[in-house]
Chain A
Amino acid sequence: MHEILEKAQLSPNVTLLRVSAPRIAEIRQPGQFVIVRRGPGAERIPLTIADADPGAGSITLVIQAIGKSTMDLVELEPGEAIQDIAGPLGSPTELLEQGHAVCVGGGVGTAVILPIAQGLGRRGVSVTSVIGGRSREWVILEDELRACGEVVVCSDDGSYGRHGFVTEALKDLLDEGGIDTVYAVGPVPMMRAVSEMTRPYGVHTVVSLNSIMIDGTGMCGGCRVEVGGQTRYACVDGPEFDGHLVDFRLLADRLTTYRSFEQQALEHREACKAEASR
């Protein structure tokens, strides 16, 4: 059992849970994830390790509550526990050795960018983070990223920072030049747009793919993606790949596999809640 040590609301639907997982906290590296199962009957879902505190034996999970399983998870309160956490899984990020990296985070993807920016910062790589959200309240982890370097904040509605998408801010940075690698994590359309934007500049671009998976060790094959025309498993070969080689259309398509189930599960959950509160 993994006790919830701390809980914080980062944006209207993004929750931070700091949970006890001493071994994982000790050895995890940027880019790695865990498989979480809340308890009996619950799904196994992959979540990136946003941060870790080996001294406290805890890892930080940042969860966007969009489906039944994630909503169930963020309902847990400090003192309660997650039954199963397995990991750390996935290949660690191939961190740039030196130079200048731009870390682009969209929505909850910003939580995946954070450990990468921290890892780069520890190596002495110059980091510029570009993060965004619909409006001010959807921008997360800005202070944490500021500890790693410069941060450009964007909001779609102009309510905070620069008005517009992260890709527009990225374009300005690319035009300035001197960027060695771009790390981009967010919704599939955002990662595709970033990859298309960096391609003509010839800047190496790393994206993190959030495929559907069960075991996280290569055993189910559900997370298969196409990279450079080859079928790869996001869980063991990734989750990070060269954004210029990823078939984003296939990824987006496969992510819709269980959409009707997800809708039903949500409706059922809401009906149960309504019943319980009556």
Chain B
Amino acid sequence: MTDQPAPGERPVPTKKERMQIDRQLMPEQEAVVRAHNFGEVNLGFDEQLAMLEAERCLLCPKEYCVDGCPVSVNIPRFIDRLARGDIAGAAQSLLDDNALPCVTGRVCPQETQCEGVCLRGKTGRPVAIGYLERFVADWAGAHPEALPPIAIADSGRRVAVIGSGPAGLTAAGELVKSGHKVTVFEAFHSPGGVLIYGIPEFRLPKDIVQAEVDRLVAKGVEIRPNTIIGKTYTLPELREMFDAIFIAVGAGLPVFMHVPGENLKGVYSANEYLTRVNLMGAWNPDSDTPILKGRRVAVVGGGNVAMDSVRTAKRLGADEAICVYRRSRGEMPARVEEVHHAEQEGIRFDFLVAPIEVVGDDKGWVTGLRCVRMELGEPDSSGRRRPRPIPGSEFTIDCDEVVVAIGTRSNPVLTRTAPELQVNEWGYIVTDEHGMTSMPGVFAGGDIVRGAATVILAMGDGKHAAHAIDAWLRGEYPPAAEPAAGEADEESAGHRHPAHAAVAAH
């Protein structure tokens, strides 16, 4: 790395100059306006803001941020190129490491990953790595001519990817880079998985997801929608048709509260609520798919899915949208930015409150959510203090709609058709350290292995598994250490197999 700018490049600031730049603020739609529309909340950096923010990066010799990234994006490399004015170079660098940068730049919990370990955060605010990633990725999307496709020799091998969510798409992107022919099977009519049905338009516009999918299709990935593995084809049938398989079907089943009244009209799983609004476009009056628009909507849960649901309810016209969470604010698994945005939009938070019954009228419609107040006791296995009910504190929240966003679990539709596929007691697929299941040549990753987690952890699994699948196809399994995009050390592997947390987060 040289400090001498090439002709036409921006001058490189000194460390002292870099330290004097404050973190640039993300331009946002005003809260009072955006609470009534589905347009994106964050508007994105322009070139000037992006380059200024990029100059804040100190290019540390020890790249903590790369270690903090589940897909080991070489963060200093792309930020350095951006700071020097070489946006195309920055884009090339980013896309080499990350198949879905427009997505991760918007939905990653940066505060607990790259930005959480950024050295600048020790004395001030960390470099806005997520915002910079988003800027560079969106620029790449708008300038395809700047990133000409690279011809790759066909390996002659065929790989099936089951599920087109973040894990599946990432794996597909990595596998085509290695010259394999990839077919992605999707149960819904549109690819994207949780990126399409789960995360709302105001946080992740659907045309952004489609553009990421289009980029993969342009590289030769085939997408087969309306195909349910376990129904349209069984896993053993698919195994006959492909040289290797990657299962990335997510943890698709909703978890309900199992309290009386949960089958009343007006009680939705977050899966159903968000799928109606996002995948089926029910927020748009032109869509044929209906959605109940409650005046007072109670959303149960404290993760990103709960935030997405409660903010959606507000946008659909609720007078009051209430987040009901049984722990306190500090234990919320949601991204900090989402909670902050929700507060700005006038979302009400009822902390330390747990539902005990959904109350309805004689026509079967929801009229309220009976709750009990909680207090925090001793820490549980997740390290968070366990909530316990306060006797005699029952009360009712008046509401005409309840959305249950307390997590998801594994869907047995696929695993049921493959008795030789080993699953654990919760129905999640068991893999070795490289992602291979008990069936040779069949790999798995994302939520169907780890339990409900985040987009970026699923992507990490997809990247990791693609590397292992490539090795397996070349007869070199188990794989050697992954190519060090950012000299990632083995610590980042620690992100890959945490305990199965039943926490709603995507």
Name A's B-contacting residues (CB within 8 A). Answer: 23-24, 27, 37, 41-44, 68-69, 72, 83-89, 214-215, 217-222, 224, 226, 231, 236, 250, 253-254, 256-258, 261-262, 265
Cβ distance A22 to chain B, nearest Cβ, rounded Å: 11
Which residues of chain A have C-beta atoms less than 8 A from B279's C-beta?
214
Contact with A along B389-432 (1 / 0, CB 8 A): 00000000000000000000001010000000000000000000
The reply to whether A217 and B413 contact each other, CB–CB distance below 8 Å, is: yes
The reply to whether B232 and A218 contact each other, CB–CB distance below 8 Å, is: no
B209 within 8 A of A: no
Tell me what chain A mostly uses at the interface: helix, strand, loop, or mixed: mixed
| A257 in contact with B288 given A86-B228, A221-B256 (CB within 8 Å) | no
B292 within 8 A of A: yes
| A23 in contact with B265 given A41-B281, A44-B280, A86-B189 (CB within 8 Å) | no
A225 and chain B: residue at smallest CB distance:
B263
Which residues of chain A have C-beta atoms less than 8 A from B141's C-beta?
none
Which residues of chain B have C-beta atoms less than 8 A from A69's C-beta?
288
Contacting B271 at CB < 8 Å: which of A87, A220, A265? Answer: A220
| A88 in contact with B231 given A214-B280, A219-B271, A231-B262 (CB within 8 Å) | yes
Name B's A-contacting residues (CB within 8 A). Answer: 187-189, 225-228, 231-233, 252-254, 256, 262-263, 265, 268-269, 271-272, 275-276, 279-281, 286-290, 292, 363-364, 411, 413
Which residues of chain A have C-beta atoms less than 8 A from B225's C-beta?
84, 86
Among A23, A24, A68, A219, chain B packs the most CB atoms within 10 A around the CB of: A219
The reply to whether A220 and B272 contact each other, CB–CB distance below 8 Å, is: yes
| A257 in contact with B292 given A41-B286, A84-B226, A220-B275 (CB within 8 Å) | yes
A-B CB pair tally, cutoff 8 Å: 102
| A44 in contact with B189 given A254-B265, A257-B265 (CB within 8 Å) | yes
Give Cα distance in the complex from A236 to B363, angstroms: 27
CB<8 Å pairs between A and B, sample of 19 = A42-B288, A43-B288, A44-B280, A72-B288, A84-B189, A86-B227, A86-B228, A89-B231, A215-B187, A215-B188, A217-B187, A217-B252, A220-B271, A220-B272, A221-B272, A222-B272, A231-B262, A254-B364, A265-B290
Cβ distance B290 to chain A, nearest Cβ, rounded Å: 4
The reply to whether A226 and B269 contact each other, CB–CB distance below 8 Å, is: no
Among A217, A231, A253, chain B packs the most CB atoms within 10 A around the CB of: A217
Which residues of chain B have C-beta atoms less than 8 A from A220's C-beta?
254, 269, 271-272, 275
Give Cα distance in the complex from A254 to B268, angstroms: 12
A89 and chain B: residue at smallest CB distance:
B231
Give Cα distance in the complex from A33 to B365, angstroms: 29
The reply to whether B275 and A215 contact each other, CB–CB distance below 8 Å, is: yes
Cβ distance A28 to chain B, nearest Cβ, rounded Å: 10
Cβ distance A246 to chain B, nearest Cβ, rounded Å: 13
